[in-house]
Structure 1
Amino acid sequence: MNTPLGILAAGMVTAVGLDAPSACAALRGRLDGFCETRFLGPDGEWQIGAPVPLPRNWIGEKRLAHLAAGAIAELFEAVPGAAGRAALILCLPEEDRPGRPVRDAAALAARIAAIVEIPPRTRTQIVAHGRPSGLVALRQARRMLAEGAAEYVVVAGVDSYLTAPAIARYLADNRLLTPDNANGFLPGEAAAAILCAADGEAALSLAGLGLAREAAFLYNRQGEDGLDVPLRGDGMTAAYAQALGEAGVTLAGVEYRIADLIGEQYWFRQTALAALRLERGRTEFQDLWSPAESLGNIGAAVVPLMVGMALTAARKGYSGGSPVLIEASADDGACGAAVFHEGAA
C-alpha cells in the first residue's frame, strides 16, 4: 500500500496573478495574461506571450529564482511550521530543450534557497523533464515521505519560454501561435509550488499515479521515409490506466480532468485518444480544464499549478467533483497522469 500524500497548500506566480488565490480566480474567470512581448515574431510584429508582471525587470536565472521563491514563500506563509522542515524537489525544463533558460540547476536551487531563507542543509532534488516533471516529483515526494526522509516536501516548478533563443527556435520550427500559424502555442512563464505531507488536514490527496512514454511523440520522424509514426495515444493511455488502477477507479468515475493542452493539435488528439480507449459507461458531462488557455505554455511549472488549481477548487467548492485526473506530457514522449481525491487520504 502506498504512503498517503496530502496537498496542504499551493503557491503561484503567473501572468494572471502573483499568488494562488488571485491566479486561480483569474483562471476560473477565463482571464488571460497574453500581451505583446519584447520579442519579434514573423513579419516584424511583436510575438504574443504571457510574461509575469514582476515588480522589477529581472532577467535570466535571477528572474526564475524570484518567480520560484515567490511561489515557495506562499506555502510557508500558509503553513508556517513547514519552514525549515521541508525537503525541496525543483522541477525544471528539459536539459536539451531549445532556449533552455537554466544553465546551472544547482546554482538556481541555491539562489532560490537564499531568497526564501531555506536552511543550507535542506534535502534538494532536481527533476528536469519539462511539463511532466511535477508528476515524477510527486512519485519522489511520496517515496521520501514513506521513508521518513522528510516531514514535508515542497514540489516547485519554474520555467519560461520567453527567451530569445527559444522564440527564435520555435518560430523556425513553426511551433508558435502566430497570425499565419493556428497550430502552435503561445510562450509563457510561471512558477508554482505545492506542499506535500503524509498526514494532516489535506483538502486534496494523491490516490494514483502513472508514468509512461509515447513512442509516437510529437514530430517523431520515426516512420518510413522520415515520416511521423501515427499517434495512437499508447503512452497517455498507459499512464491513465496506471493512475486509475492505483486509485481504484475507472475513467468513467472521474468527475473532471485538468490537462496541459498547450495549443497544438497533437496534445488534444492524445488526450482524446486516451479517453476514448478507457472511458466506458459514462453519460454525464466530464469537464476538461487547461491553464494554457490563460497562461500559454509554462513548461515545468504546469503540474504544480494544475494541482494547485484542483486544491483551490476543492477548498472553494467550485470543483467539478471528486476524483480529478491531472495529466501532462512532453515533446519527447514522456507522459503521466495522477488521480486526486478531495479530502485527506
Structure 2
Amino acid sequence: MTAALDIVATGMVTAVGLDAPSSCAALRARLDGFKETQYADDEGEWLLGSPVTMPRKWIGQKRMTHMLAAAISEICTTVPQARERTPMLLCLPEASRPGSPVQDASALVRNVCAILEMAVDPRSRTISHGRPSGLVALEQARRLLAEGGTSAVIVAGVDSYLTPEAIGFYLANRRLLATNNPNGFIPGEAAAAVLCTHAGHGSGLRLHGLGLARENAYIYNEADEPLRGDGLTTAYRHALKEAGIEMNQLGFRISDLIGEQYWFKQTALASLRLVRGAHDFQDLWSPGESLGNIGAAAVPVMIGMAFAAARKGYAAGNPVLIEASEDSGACGAAIFAARAA
C-alpha cells in the first residue's frame, strides 16, 4: 500500500497540556510534567512520573476513556465533520503487558463514542502493539481511505504506565529510572489523536513513506543477541524507498526515546547504517524528554509535534521521519513532509 494521506487536525491530552496547542508549546519549550508519584523505589525514594492532571480522580480504564475522548473531541471541534461515520483506529498497550490500564478494548471504544455522542463505526479497530501501534494504524488508515467509503480516519492512542501493577513489574525488572538505576524510563501517560484524510484535502503534513519491521535483538532478549539495529534499519529503508529519498535528505527525526540506553543505540545504528554523503544537521526530537514513556500514545503525539512545528514554522527541517519501537521487537518509521497552507 503506497497511497499517501494528509494529517489535517490533531488533539492531545498530556502531562504538560490538556490540548494540542498547549502541549506542543510546552514540548517546544522543553518543559516537562515530571513529579514525584505515590510509588517508592527499592531505596524508599519516591519515583518520578508524568501524570495527566484530570478534573476528577478517575483510575484505570475509565481514566483512559476520558483522556482519549478529550483528545478526539479536540479534533471534532476543529473538523466537525469528523463526527459523521468516521472510522477510529485506537492504539492501545500490548495485550500481554503487565499492568495495562485497558482491560476491555471493545468497551473502551463504545464508551469513548458514547461520551462523544458518536455512533460506533463498524470499521473501527483497536491496535495493541504499544508504542509502534500508531504506525500500524497509519497503514490501516490509508488502506481504508483507498478502499473508499470514508473521507477521513481518526488515529488515536492512549496509554499509562502509572498503575500499581506496571510500576511493580518494571521496578522489579530494573526498567524504571530510580536512585539505584540510571538506565531506566520515567512512567508517563497521555492520549492523542490525528485526523487522516485523502491526500490533497488539506494543508499540514502528508505521509510519503511508511516502513514496518521487527528487531530480533530486542531489549533484554533471551538469546542475548547483539543489537545491530537490523529491524529499525529495515523500517527506515522501506519508508525512504517509498518516499523516494535518501537518508541524508531528511530534515530531522522524532523518536519515541524513553530514556533507556538501548533505544538511543538503536536509532543511532539505524542512522549510521543508512546515511551517505554530506548532509545538514539532523535534529532529533523526542516527547520522552518531557513526558516519559507514554506507550501507545507516542506516535499520535509525535505526529502532533511535527504538525504544530510545520504549521507554526519552527520545524527543524523538511521532511521529518517519525520512528517507534516496542519491547518485543516491533518497530516502524514514517516520513512526513509539510504542505503549504
TM-score normalised per structure 1: 0.96
Q: Which residue of 1 aligns with 2:259?
A: 263
For the Cα contact (< 8 Å) 2:174–2:181, is it kept in 1?
yes
Partner amino acid, structure 1, of 2:207:
L
1:213-232 matches, within 5 Å, as 213-222=214-223, 228-232=224-228
Give, in whole Å, the separation in 2 of the partners of 1:117 and 1:202.
Answer: 28
Give, in whole Å, the separation in 1 of the partners of 2:150 and 2:56.
Answer: 34
Partner amino acid, structure 2, of 1:330:
E
1:21-32 matches, within 5 Å, as 21-32=21-32
1:264-303 matches, within 5 Å, as 264-303=260-299
Give, in whole Å, the separation in 1 of the partners of 2:336 and 2:279.
Answer: 21
Give, in whole Å, the separation in 2 of the partners of 1:331 and 1:120.
Answer: 31
Q: Which residue of 1 aligns with 2:55?
A: 55
1:105 lines up with 2:133 in the alignment: no
Identity, % of aligned positions: 62
Displacement of 1:321: 1.7
Give, in whole Å, the separation in 2 of the partners of 1:110 and 1:62.
Answer: 12
Displacement of 1:4: 2.3
For the Cα contact (< 8 Å) 1:34–1:49, is it kept in 2?
yes
Q: Which residue of 2 aligns with 1:331?
A: 327
Give, in whole Å, the separation in 1 of the partners of 2:26 and 2:173.
Answer: 31
Q: Which residue of 2 aligns with 1:13?
A: 13
1:165-314 matches, within 5 Å, as 165-198=165-198, 199-222=200-223, 228-314=224-310
Structure 2 residue runs without a partner (length 5+): none
Q: Which residue of 2 aligns with 1:319?
A: 315
For the Cα contact (< 8 Å) 1:193–1:305, is it kept in 2?
yes
Q: Which residue of 2 aligns with 1:138?
A: 138
For the Cα contact (< 8 Å) 1:88–1:122, is it kept in 2?
no
Q: Which stretch has the larger CA shift, 57-66 or 119-128?
A: 119-128
> CA RMSD of the aligned region, Å?
1.1
Give, in whole Å, the separation in 2 of the partners of 1:271 and 1:47.
Answer: 27
For 1:262, what is the secondary structure of its paired residue?
Answer: coil
Displacement of 1:122: 5.0
Displacement of 1:58: 0.4
Displacement of 1:55: 1.0
For the Cα contact (< 8 Å) 2:132–2:296, is it kept in 1?
yes
Displacement of 1:121: 3.9
Structure 1 residue runs without a partner (length 5+): 223-227
Q: Which residue of 1 aligns with 2:74?
A: 74
For the Cα contact (< 8 Å) 1:192–1:301, is it kept in 2?
yes
Give, in whole Å, the separation in 2 of the partners of 1:88 and 1:159.
Answer: 16
Displacement of 1:44: 2.2
Give, in whole Å, the separation in 2 of the partners of 1:127 and 1:283.
Answer: 36
For the Cα contact (< 8 Å) 1:85–1:151, is it kept in 2?
no
Give, in whole Å, the separation in 1 of the partners of 2:217 and 2:121.
Answer: 42
For the Cα contact (< 8 Å) 1:84–1:122, is it kept in 2?
no
For 2:43, what is the secondary structure of its paired residue?
Answer: helix
For the Cα contact (< 8 Å) 1:92–1:133, is it kept in 2?
yes
For the Cα contact (< 8 Å) 1:86–1:122, is it kept in 2?
no
Partner amino acid, structure 2, of 1:257:
R
User: Between Structure 1 and Structure 2, how many residues are aligned?
Assistant: 339
TM-score normalised per structure 2: 0.98
